[in-house]
Amino acid sequence: MAPMSNRTLALTPDLRDYLLAHSAPEPQVLADLRAETALLPGANMQIAPEQGAFMALMARLTGARRCLEVGTYTGYSAIAVALSLPRDGRVHACDIDEEALAVARRHAERAGVHGRLAFHPGDAVATLDRLLGEGARETFDMMFIDADKTGYAGYWERGLGLIRPGGLILVDNVLWSGHVIDASVQDADTRALRAFNEMVREDDRVEAVMLPLADGLTVARKK
């Protein structure tokens, strides 16, 4: 049978298992964090393991040292990236949920990367504004946006100030379980994501690609 290589394949659960079984294995500390987070009410907020592996590879490929994360929760994405940074690398991890950050801190210690994580509890807008005010403009190599969806546009704008030219901004949930194309869904988060995706498409400060990874991941390079 001729393969269909001219469009993206929709993954069945079995095919996704195959994909996971044939990618870089999930580090044990991240598997343990996934198991612990699964018991929490917000467990479905955690990124998928294949996305963590991809983000770690992006960090390594780009030689990232300074990373910024908006929306850390229990730490999966932050630790996945931190594991691929050099010893003096840092992930500045922002979240308003201090209980979730305590879980992240504990697993970062277990992973041996606590020295590569700087936690910023509180509203991420205030944290990003503080970093901008402290002279961190254009000092970050990579940023991940994964917090409140109605806040994405504000994080994006501040992120473009903080990321160096040639640096990456990754944005999660841009397909939002497919709701972005379902006109019957009109809640605030879905509308914000639609507007955000339009905004990125029109933003000539970046080259951006939307990937069908997990819930949709935009990868944007600042020009």
Q: Does 93 bind ligand SAM (CB under 6 A)?
A: no
Q: What are the φ and ψ backbone dihedral angles of 77, each rounded to 5 degrees? A: -65, -40
Q: Does 26 bind ligand SAM (CB under 6 A)?
A: no
CB of 188 to ligand SAM, least distance (A): 13
Q: What are the φ and ψ backbone dihedral angles of 28, each rounded to 5 degrees? A: -55, -40
Binding segment for ligand SAM (CB under 6 A), chosen from 9-17, 20-28, 65-73, 134-142, is: 65-73
CB of 180 to ligand SAM, least distance (A): 16
CA 35 – CA 94 distance, rounded (Å): 22
CB of 22 to ligand SAM, least distance (A): 22
CB of 5 to ligand SAM, least distance (A): 31
**Measured between alpha carbons, how far is residue 180 from residues 12, 152, 183 in Å?**
21, 15, 8
Q: Does 95 bind ligand SAM (CB under 6 A)?
A: yes
Q: Does 129 bind ligand SAM (CB under 6 A)?
A: no
CA dihedral 101→106→108→113, nearest 10 degrees, is: 120
Question: With respect to ligand SAM, which residue has the nearer C-beta, 5 or 114?
Answer: 114
Contact by Cβ (8 Å): 30, 52: yes
Q: Does 123 bind ligand SAM (CB under 6 A)?
A: yes
Burial class for 211, CB neighbours closer than 10 Å (0-12, 13-18, 19+): middle
DSSP string, 101-127: HHHHHHHHHHHT-GGGEEEEES-HHHH
Contact pick of 26, 29, 34, 45 for ligand SAM (by CB under 6 A): 45
CB of 2 to ligand SAM, least distance (A): 38
Q: Does 155 bind ligand SAM (CB under 6 A)?
A: no
Q: Does 97 bind ligand SAM (CB under 6 A)?
A: yes
